[in-house]
Amino acid sequence: MRTRFLSAPFGLCVLGAVAWACACGGRAVGGDDAGGAATDAAAAGPDAGAIDAGAGGDAGGSMDTGPKEQSPYHAFYEAVRESVWAFPFESGDWSADLGDAAYYGLAFYVNAGKAEDRTDYLARARQARQRNLTVIRAANDDISYLMNNLEEGLMAELGLIEYMAVAGDTNNLQHIDAFLDNVNGLVDSMGPYLEIDVESWALKTYGPTTITGVVALMNLRYAELLKNERAAERLEFGKKLIAVIDEKVWTGTFYRFSTTIDRVDLYPNVMMIIADAVAFKLTGDAAYKSKCLSVYEAIQPLKYDFRKGYYSQYSAEAMGAKTDDYTTLSSQNYAIMAMAMLFDITGDAKFKAEIVDLVSFIHDKLWVDGRLLHHWMDGRVAIPEDFEYFCSGCNLQFLYVIWYVERYLYGY
């Protein structure tokens, strides 16, 4: 226990600031309904990418087959989604989102919109989809655009993968594949464990374990959700990256921050719980599940004993924390998702209880004037003078994560 003393996305502020220092040609493909890099997302009209109510799948969770029930934090979830609906949104893009919304906004509105038959949610999802396609096409056509906008591209890719799975819309799959091929090629050429000598705030802050794990997860999610002729290839690349991470930094009980930093840090370990859990679901290999459970035990000392939540060291120094009383909204969002995955693969109710505690921390400490603020630090919530204060994308991330929990852990 911590006695006293992440904002980033599944996605991925972690990769957004990486300085990709290699010469690599982007793979471009042509001909679709996205309209090119210069296309205004709104120009596609309300029927672009229409969602077939009878088609598509889900977000990849295992539905709880027990009695349907609201979660203990359902009222809070409803308050957050009412608040988030009013966030500035134009031409498929959310303001002040730090890149996260391209995934979490699109994923939430297409999932909740289809499940609840909300035409307003589905219309917003279509607008976000079109914006994401514009980003992806620009990245595929111009390698410099990819390098300068990698975070937004990765989030757009993840959002489009989930949109395709849920909506049953496989238009533009060639662009999704081209983008992932480009990213995988870049990663392969530089590691693939991304402990590389470049000047990068993201690499220093989040560490190579987290960053490499995110790329593995993106490939695994493709395999999990799309289940097409390239799914096996994506699965193998994701497994390959996990194997490389294991070789470099797996201690037998937890994942090190890097090959030179041995500490138990929340961010890389919850990221790898998620990646290993998806790999277990896809392969049935019990070694992945065993690692998830081991990592869970290893991060328990990061819990506070004077309040709820986990300490996450990754950005404490950058934010100016003077004590170890520091927790970001993003890091707790990922911790919630990790606990949901642990429940999914074990059925152990203690992971549901963990989520209740994490949501309680977010509600009690970060929910201020109808929105969630960026972090808790040194006995106070974030203030405008801090390096970061508010992120609409992290609010959308929380909304998606709690939707996922209610849907797949409670069947609601």
CATH number at residue 396: 1.50.10.10
pLDDT at 41: 38
Number of domains in the chain: 1
Domain assignment present for residue 308? The answer is yes
The pLDDT mean for the chain works out to 86
Of the candidates 404, 221, 325, 314, the one whose C-alpha atom is nearest the C-alpha of residue 7 is: 314
The verdict on residue 42 lying in a domain is no
Phi and psi at residue 265, to the nearest 5°: -115, 145
DSSP state of 366: I
Percent above pLDDT 90 for the chain: 71
> Are residues 94 and 101 in contact, defined by beta-carbon separation less than 8 angstroms?
yes
Handedness of CA 316, 320, 321, 327 (dihedral sign): negative
**For residues 325 and 143, what is the distance between their CA atoms, to the nearest angstrom?**
41
**Terminal CA-CA length for the chain:** 33
Q: Is the model more confident about 53 or about 394?
A: 394
* Cα(344)–Cα(70) distance, integer angstroms: 17
Once rounded to an integer, what is the mean pLDDT over residues 374-394?
97
**Helices and strands: H and E segment counts in the chain:** 15, 7
Name the band, by pLDDT with cuts 50, 70 and 90, for residue 192: very high
C-alpha span between 193 and 179 (Å, rounded): 20
Whether residue 359 lies inside any domain: the answer is: yes
Residue 50 is classified by DSSP as P
Query: What pLDDT score was predicted for residue 317?
Result: 86
Residue 3 in any domain: the answer is no
| DSSP state string for 114-155 | HHHT-HHHHHHHHHHHHHHHHHHHHHHH-HHHHHHTHHHHHH
Does residue 193 lie within any of the structural domains?
yes
Q: Which domain holds residue 364?
A: 13-31+55-409
Residue 82 within any structural domain of the chain: yes
Longest distance between any two alpha carbons in the chain, whole Å: 58
Please give the average per-residue pLDDT across 229-253, as a whole number.
98
Whether 40 maps to a domain, the answer reads no
- What is the pLDDT confidence band of residue 68, given thresholds at 50, 70 and 90? confident
The 10s digit of each residue's pLDDT in 10-65 is 334 334 333 322 323 333 333 344 333 333 333 334 344 555 545 566 677 664 54
Residue 66 has pLDDT above 70, yes or no: no
CB proximity list for 151: less than 8 A, separation 6 or greater: 12, 13, 15, 16, 17, 99
pLDDT single digits (tens) 323-375: 999 999 999 999 999 999 999 999 999 999 999 999 999 999 999 999 999 99
Alpha helices, DSSP H, located in 250-362: 266-283, 286-298, 316-319, 329-346, 350-361
Rounded to an integer, the average pLDDT of 259-281 is 96
How many Å apart are CA 90 and CA 303, to the nearest integer? 39
Q: Which of 109, 148, 112, 152 is nearest to 132 (CA)?
A: 152
Specify the pTM: 0.87
CA nearest 44: which of 101, 129, 102?
129
What value does the mean pLDDT take over residues 150-165?
A: 91
Say whether pLDDT at 169 is over 80.
yes
Contact criterion met (CB below 8 Å) for 397 and 104: yes
**What is residue 318's predicted lDDT score, i.e. its pLDDT?**
86
Q: How far is CA 26 from the centre of its chain?
A: 24
Residue 328 lies in a domain: yes
